[in-house]
Structure 1
Amino acid sequence: MSERDMTMMYAAHDAFRRDLRALSTTPDHERWTQFRTQLSVHHTAEDVVLWPSLRRRGVDAQLVEAMAAEHDRIDPLLAQANRAFDTAGPEAARPTLVALSELLHNHLQHEEQQTLPLINDREWSLLDREMRRRIGLRGLRPYYSWLLRDVEGERRRRVLSTVPGPLRLVIS
């Protein structure tokens, strides 16, 4: 397996953590909407491309099933928080956001430690393509705005270095 640049994957994971920390203390509908949209894109791409590919390749079946099951446990909390935001307001969502934060943190850590090292170059390429397809051209600016929120210095430079030059002018 060749060395690959996982800057964008870790940047997305860090952004999910950042948003849930903020949402758990100060629930905000706009931030929630951005978070939910980006997590949906991220997890759906993994569900559609990554887990099936790892299964076909015969990668540790228990691990792949555990990853998929973690997504399945996250989804109801997303729906519950969304209902709370839409019907009772941000403060009503706080308990669900705290539970979601813990569950998602554990999932991201599990994925980073055990799954990311197993993904081959072809799977990275397919996952990247699926995420870009789901984000779409119109979603690029909101995606990078979300991803780079509060990110400065070297980390910001590293993320932007993965983006083609013309696109970098539009999003930075």
Structure 2
Amino acid sequence: MTAHLLPGQAAAPEGPADLSMMYALHHGFRRDLARFHEAVLRTPLAQAGTWQALLERWDLFALLLHDHHHKEDEHLWPLLRGRVDAGGDAEGARVLDAMEDEHARIDPLLEAVRSGFGSLAGGPSETGRHGLVADLEQVRELLGAHLGHEERDAIAILQRYVPGDEWAQVERAKFRGGLGPRDLLRLVPWCLEGLPPQVASGLLTAAGPPFRVVLWLGRGRFHRLERAAFAFVPEGVGA
């Protein structure tokens, strides 16, 4: 299956598996980091309520990224590892090693950013702002490189070794669970935020009526947090 590239997406290797949801998640991670970066630069230090909303919004981002990486580490990489090892694919094995190493480098940085948001929510500090900008830029650089590497190379391995119907089953069984009801109410509107309308419509159609119900229940609260956190971010950032 061939997918249209979303903003910032590095590649969409052809093959039988439908990776639309994976690419939508990647879009969300890139979008959020662009908005957080602008928010930290532009939000007045005295706006304590905005910094508190940014902290809450960062916790959502970190939760969803951790959930995504955990599911890849627990399910996707082992699945692909078995296939590349059976095929004697040394290059594929090197790519999978890199995927795990990149996760291990990114995940600890998330707590440093959280600490920065927490400090600024507690009181104005220009020094704290500078440190948070630096931490965010490091996360953005490392995660951006990782997502591009995954889209170019790891997804190509998936398309080569995993039939489309098998991937659909794995995605349903292993990738759609794990979050509680409250987090699902935030995940669905988060995932669709800023997507091109035709892509969002396709995801809603493929996911079925329950997805639409969750969106209806959760989007109001999500958009209130979005407005509160990114109050000083110009429209269109991260699109």
In the superposition, the TM-score normalised over structure 1's length comes to 0.88
**Post-superposition shift, 1:137?**
4.1
1:103-132 Cα deviation digits (max 9, x unpaired): 101100000010112221435532442222
Asked if 1:75 corresponds to 2:117, the answer is no
Q: Contact (CA 8 Å) 1:46, 1:127: kept in 2 or not?
A: no
- CA 1:75–1:124: 2 relative to 1, 3 Å: farther
> 1:41·1:131 contact (CA, 8 Å) conserved in 2?
no
Percent same amino acid among aligned pairs?
Answer: 33
Report the Cα distance in structure 1 between the residues aligned to 2:139 and 2:157, rounded to whole angstroms.
26
In the TM superposition, 1:85-164 aligns within 5 A as 85-89=117-121, 91=129, 92-119=131-158, 120-121=162-163, 122-123=166-167, 125-164=169-208
Alpha-carbon distance in 2 for matches of 1:105, 1:157: 26
Name which of structure 1's ranges 12-21 and 28-37 shifts more when overlaid on structure 2.
Answer: 28-37
Q: Which runs of 5+ in 1 are unaligned?
A: none
Deviation, 1:171, is 1.1
Match for residue 61 of structure 1 among 93, 117, 142: 93
Match of 2:35 in 1: 22
Contact kept? 2:188, 2:215, Cα under 8 Å:
yes
Q: Deviations over 1:124-172 (max 9, x none)?
A: 5324422222124443221111111233521211221221124323315
User: For residues 41 and 143 of structure 1, do their structure 2 counterparts lie closer, same or farther at Cα, with a shift above 3 Å needed?
Assistant: same
After superposition, give the CA deviation of every residue in 1:84-107 in whole Å (9 maximum; x if it has no partner): 223454834221111100110110
Say whether 1:11 aligns with 2:24. Answer: yes
Q: Which has the higher helix share?
A: 1
Larger Rg: 2
Q: Root-mean-square deviation (CA), in Å?
A: 2.2
Alignment partners' CA distance in 1, 2:172 and 2:103: 19
| 2:154 aligned counterpart, secondary structure | helix
Q: 2: CA distance between counterparts of 1:66 and 1:123?
A: 22
Out of 89-98 and 70-79, give the one that drifted further: 89-98
Specify the code of the residue in structure 2 equivalent to 1:45: K
TM-score, normalization by structure 2: 0.65
Helix, strand or coil at the partner of 2:177: helix
Match of 1:34 in 2: 60
Runs of 4 or more, structure 1, over 4 Å off, are: none
Amino acid in the other structure paired with 2:19? M
- The structural deviation recorded for 1:16 is 0.3
